[in-house]
Every structure is written in C-alpha cells, then in structure tokens.
Amino acid sequence: MGKISNGIERALLTRPVPTGTSALRFLMRSEKGSTRKVARLLGVSQRTVQRWVTKRPGARRTPGPLQVRAIEEAVLARWQPRIRARRRAQAEAEAEGFVFHTRARFGFAAPVGSSDDPRVRWITQDLPGEVAQELFAARDAGAGEQQQTVILARALGHSYFREWGRRAHEPASSSERVRVFSVVRL
C-alpha cells in the first residue's frame, strides 16, 4: 500500500485497527469463536489457530511474520465496515467533499535565495466530492500510487492555483515547477 492508500484508509476509520494479539481476538469474535473458520480465513490449520489462542502457557505459540500479515489484512478487511461506508459516502457527496493535506514544492526557476525560489509548503485544501469519487474509483480499480498522485495533483491545481476557473486561467508555464510529494493526510 502506498502513502495515498494509507491516508485514505486512515480517513475512513474512527478507531485504530487492532494489531498483535488483539487482532487475533477480534477475528475470533467476528467468526463467533470458531477456530475452524479463522483457520480457513488465514490459510492455516485449525490446530495452528488453537495453538495461537490457547490459554495454557506451555502450549501457546505466536504467529510467524507471514501469518501476522495475513491476520492484519483479514482484520483490516473486517474492521468498521458500516463506518467506512458512511465516511466514504460523505466524502463522495458533492456538498461534503474532503480535506486534503499535503506538502508541495512550487515556485519559479530562479536563483537560490530569491523569493521565487521553489520551496516546500504545507497545503490544506478542501476538495469536492467528485475528486473523492474519482480517487475511490481509481483505488478500487487497482490504480497505483502514481495514478492516484496524478488525480490529486490535478485537483489541487484546479482548486488551489486556479480556484476552479476564477483565476490563473492559463496552465502553468514550463518554468513553473509544481510537484506534489507523497505525504498525504485525508
């Protein structure tokens, strides 16, 4: 997962996703205590899951790195589904939209130290729901980090620099450099 996808996931959740032993307990609760269902879900044997959740100190085992990753992915897929759907619908609504936090380097090609020298600035911008719709559609279609960055950079250019057509009608000149970094907080 890239930084944009992680930012989207953080924005859709209201509580932190369980990790470690609490993640395994969450899976057991979600499958109503069935070690067989959890084992099928994770692709391991039922006995392996029983060893992970046993309360006997000598028999208890910890999952390996591959199993920990499978547990985290299974928990993330099941964590707060209704809240995620509601927050996604709010972001995609035209009236709501979402707030986009990033840092960008922009300025003109100028000597170092002048006021036009490109420098990093933090930008917080409200983006409309149609951008969220496009971003979620691209993510659901399996778009990579680069394609998602292009969507956000285009939206940021329209909203921040051109105010949706109210100023700076011409596209940026070749001497103007705009680069959106991959630090994203939605």
CB 35 within 8 A of CB 46: yes
pLDDT of amino acid 182: 41
Among 173, 51, 184, CA closest to 42? 51
Confidence of residue 32 (pLDDT cuts 50, 70, 90): very high
pLDDT of amino acid 39: 94
CB 4 within 8 A of CB 149: yes
Q: What is the pLDDT of residues 123-175, one digit of tens each?
A: 888 888 888 888 888 888 888 888 888 888 888 887 877 666 666 555 544 43
pLDDT above 80 (res 180): no
pLDDT of amino acid 7: 81
CB 74 within 8 A of CB 19: no
In which order are the strands placed within the sheet that holds 119-127? 119-127, 98-108, 176-185
Q: What is the pLDDT of residues 52-101, one digit of tens each?
A: 988 888 888 888 899 899 999 899 889 989 998 998 888 888 777 888 88
pLDDT of amino acid 155: 85
pLDDT of amino acid 156: 82
pLDDT above 70 (res 5): yes
Residue scoring higher pLDDT (36 or 5): 36
Q: What is the pLDDT of residues 37-54, one digit of tens each?
A: 999 999 999 999 999 988
